[in-house]
């Protein structure tokens, strides 16, 4: 049996729930393919518990959902004896409650409702029935540990965690499940005897985003370029057709969400909320558009931020899902050619040597840095109290001043702001006289436009490190490298 990899904090929480002498109600959520079901099943696999796992069926009718539920009830509690399919969820939960009462008093019971949003079909009243049975029966039984789960993070958050009805404040634990970090990705691959250097792991991460299911398809004995080619540029590759399936499994009207993803992906430095809603047109008017943005953020596809010192400009959004970034830039444009087998073998390896790839890799590396802020803090010796942010100045038409972009900054509590320049390169980055002048100009524009009185430090986050020379020694106060991103966070 495969062991649970990583997820130490989550596993400890599950064991706390199991050992609790009180009834527990856990809401677990995270994007598709992230390993939610695997985590729960493996965590309790060898425990002396009664484990009841009912899973929703995507697109299934209420009758189909009830049929599957009763089948599992029969399997777990009645040795597979045939049971009449309930007409509604009230009857189904009544049968379940009766079965629970018949179980030994000294055995813990795990009720795992997987993909609950799919089970809760329209007009099924599943949610209301769940509320009633939890409040009336299950919450009075210390043996019961109820776990509800769904890939639709927004549904779980809105309908369960922030429920305003009978489940209000009934959740005892909530657990968002995130993709692996760079370090966890490397450790996971090593656990499967796939040993690659950090740069190779980074290239795989740029495509998979640390999603465990994607990583489970990585084969031993291949380079990162060969792995990516097999995963993404063959008709049977797991990532080739994943994009549409990914969004259709998470959202109704998935084409509207994909439209948002496309719009956000086109803006390298982020797009303002007002501009984005304007681009999307009538389909995103009012609360509908804002709700979709919130759902995409809750499921980890986009990130909202308010640029430093520009609060009046409102919220901006940036695409931070590595797979979506990769698909839209590299897979989709040549999808037809792949389907027709017009691409030769090792085509992807050739693409990786192009200027277009180097430019895109820089964007992908920036996105990965935003997800590894704690590792960057540690490398630059910046305390947890410092606020991480970004900043951009775009001059108005007619102004002679050039614009400036700060990839990442830390507004510290010791009267200092650390400005960070992020650079992806194959070799150690070299600060030339010209580049040094451009960095000095950025610092000057930042100081003038923000009117800050704080001391400014400049640090580099360089994938392959920084070559030591006069300019680096004079200007740079700290350096974080790719190897630092592979460390544990602070």
Contact 311, 272 (CB under 8 A): no
Query: Which 3-state string (H, E, C) describes the chain?
Result: CCCCCCCHHHHHHHHHHHHCCCCEEEEEECCCCCCHHHHHHHHHCCCCEEEEEEECCCCCCHHHHHHHHHHHHHHHHCCCCCCCCCCCHHHHHHHHHHHHHCCCCCCEEEEEEECHHHHCCCCCCHHHHHHHHHHHCHHHCCCEEEEEEECCHHHHHHHHHCCCCCCCCCCCEEEECCCCCHHHHHHHHHHCCCCCCHHHHHHHHHHHCCCHHHHCCCCCCCCHHHHHHHHHCCCCCCCCCHHHHHHHHHCCCHHHHHHHHHHHHCCCCCEEHHHHHHHHHHHHCCHHHHHHHHHHHHCCCEEEECCCCCHHHCCEEEECCHHHHHHHHHHHHHHHHHHCCCCCCCHHHHHCCCHHHHHHHHHHHHHHHHCCHHHHHHHHCCCCCCEEEEEEECCCCCCCCCCEEEEEEEECCCCEEEEEEEECCCCCECCCHHHHHHHHHHHHHHHHHHCCCCEEEEEEEECCCECCCHHHHHHCCEEEEHHHHCCCCC
Q: What is the mean pLDDT of residues 261-283?
A: 86
218-234 pLDDT, tens digit per residue, is: 999 999 999 999 999 88
237-265 pLDDT, tens digit per residue, is: 999 999 998 998 888 889 999 999 999 99
18 or 4, greater pLDDT: 18
What is the pLDDT at residue 489?
A: 67
Domains (range + CATH), the chain = 8-176 (3.40.50.300), 179-371 (no CATH), 373-485 (3.40.1350.10)
Question: What is the spatial order of strands in the sheet that 144-150 belongs to?
Answer: 49-55, 108-114, 144-150, 24-29, 173-176
10-40 pLDDT, tens digit per residue, is: 999 999 999 999 999 999 998 889 999 999 9
Residue with tokens 């007409």: 87
410-453 pLDDT, tens digit per residue, is: 999 999 999 999 999 999 999 999 999 999 999 999 999 999 99
335 or 468, greater pLDDT: 468
Number of C-beta neighbours around residue 226 at 10 A = 15
Give whole-number Cα distances, 71 to 53, 103, 108, in Å.
11, 18, 21
Q: What is the mean pLDDT of residues 34-56?
A: 94
Q: What is the mean pLDDT of residues 193-203?
A: 97
Q: Is the pLDDT of residue 171 over 80?
A: yes
Q: What is the mean pLDDT of residues 106-112?
A: 96
What is the pLDDT at residue 344?
A: 58
Q: Which tokens in the block code for residue 1?
A: 């049996």
- Alpha-carbon torsion angle 214, 217, 219, 224, nearest 10: -20
111-128 pLDDT, tens digit per residue, is: 999 999 999 999 999 999
Q: Is the pLDDT of residue 200 over 50?
A: yes
Q: What is the mean pLDDT of residues 94-122?
A: 96
As a whole number, the mean pLDDT across the chain is 91
Band of residue 342 on the pLDDT scale cut at 50, 70, 90: low
Residue with tokens 């055995």: 107
54-72 pLDDT, tens digit per residue, is: 999 999 999 999 999 999 9
Q: What is the mean pLDDT of residues 385-391?
A: 92
Q: How far is it, in rounded angstroms, from Cα 204 to Cα 213?
A: 13
Least confident span in 105-114, 350-359, 427-436: 350-359
Task: Name the percent of the chain lying above pLDDT 90.
Answer: 72
Q: What is the mean pLDDT of residues 269-283?
A: 84
Residue with tokens 């299911």: 213
Q: Is the pLDDT of residue 311 over 70?
A: no
Band of residue 3 on the pLDDT scale cut at 50, 70, 90: low
Contact 117, 126 (CB under 8 A): no
Q: Which residues contact 162 (CB under 8 A, 6 or more apart)?
A: none
Q: Is the pLDDT of residue 43 over 80?
A: yes
Q: Is the pLDDT of residue 313 over 70?
A: no
Band of residue 343 on the pLDDT scale cut at 50, 70, 90: low
452-475 pLDDT, tens digit per residue, is: 999 999 999 999 999 999 999 999
Least confident span in 86-95, 123-132, 273-282: 273-282
Cα–Cα nearest to 446, from 463, 458, 435, 434: 458
Band of residue 1 on the pLDDT scale cut at 50, 70, 90: very low
């Amino acid at each position: 049996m495969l062991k649970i990899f990583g997820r130490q904090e989550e596993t400890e929480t599950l064991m706390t729930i199991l050992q609790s002498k009180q009834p527990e109600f856990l809401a677990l959520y995270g994007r598709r393919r992230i390993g939610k079901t695997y985590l729960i099943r493996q965590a309790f696999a060898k425990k002396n518990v009664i484990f009841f796992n009912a899973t929703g069926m995507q697109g299934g009718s209420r009758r189909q959902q009830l049929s599957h539920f009763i089948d599992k009830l029969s399997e777990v509690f009645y040795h597979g004896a045939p049971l009449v399919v309930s007409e509604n969820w009230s009857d189904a939960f009544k049968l379940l409650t009766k079965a629970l009462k018949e179980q030994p008093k000294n055995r813990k019971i795990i009720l795992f409702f997987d993909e609950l949003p799919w089970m809760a079909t329209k007009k099924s009243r599943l949610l209301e029935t769940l509320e009633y049975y939890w409040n009336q029966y299950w919450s009075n039984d210390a043996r019961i540990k109820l776990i509800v789960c769904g890939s639709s993070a927004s549904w779980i958050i809105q309908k369960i965690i922030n429920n305003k009805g009978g489940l209000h404040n009934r959740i005892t634990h909530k657990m968002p499940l995130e993709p692996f970090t760079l370090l966890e990705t490397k450790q996971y691959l090593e656990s499967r005897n796939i040993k690659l250097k950090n740069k190779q792991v980074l290239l795989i991460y740029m495509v998979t985003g640390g999603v465990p299911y994607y990583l489970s398809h990585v084969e031993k004995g291949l380079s990162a370029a060969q792995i990516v080619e097999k995963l993404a540029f063959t008709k049977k590759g797991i990532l080739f057709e994943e994009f549409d399936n990914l969004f259709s499994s998470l959202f109704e009207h998935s084409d509207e969400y994909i439209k948002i993803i496309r719009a956000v992906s086109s803006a390298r430095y982020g797009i303002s909320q007002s501009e984005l809603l304007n681009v999307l047109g009538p389909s995103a008017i009012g609360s509908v558009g804002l709700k979709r943005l919130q759902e995409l953020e809750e499921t980890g596809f986009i990130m909202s931020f308010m640029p430093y010192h520009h609060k009046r400009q409102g919220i901006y959004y940036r695409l931070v899902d590595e797979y979506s970034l990769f698909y839209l830039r590299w897979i989709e444009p040549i999808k037809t050619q792949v389907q027709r087998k017009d691409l030769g073998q090792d085509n992807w390896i050739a693409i990786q040597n192009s200027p277009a790839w180097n430019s895109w890799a820089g964007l992908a590396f920036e996105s990965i840095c935003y997800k590894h802020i704690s590792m960057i803090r540690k490398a630059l010796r910046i305390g947890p109290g410092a606020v991480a942010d970004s900043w951009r100045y775009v001059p108005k038409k007619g102004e002679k001043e050039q614009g400036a972009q700060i990839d990442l900054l830390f507004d510290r509590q010791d009267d200092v702001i650390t400005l960070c320049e992020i650079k992806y390169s194959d070799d150690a980055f070299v600060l030339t006289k010209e580049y040094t002048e451009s960095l000095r100009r950025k610092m000057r524009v930042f100081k003038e436009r923000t009117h800050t009185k704080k001391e400014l430090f400049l640090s580099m986050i360089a994938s392959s490190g920084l070559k030591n020379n006069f300019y680096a020694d004079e200007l740079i106060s700290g350096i974080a490298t790719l190897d630092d991103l592979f460390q544990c966070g602070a």
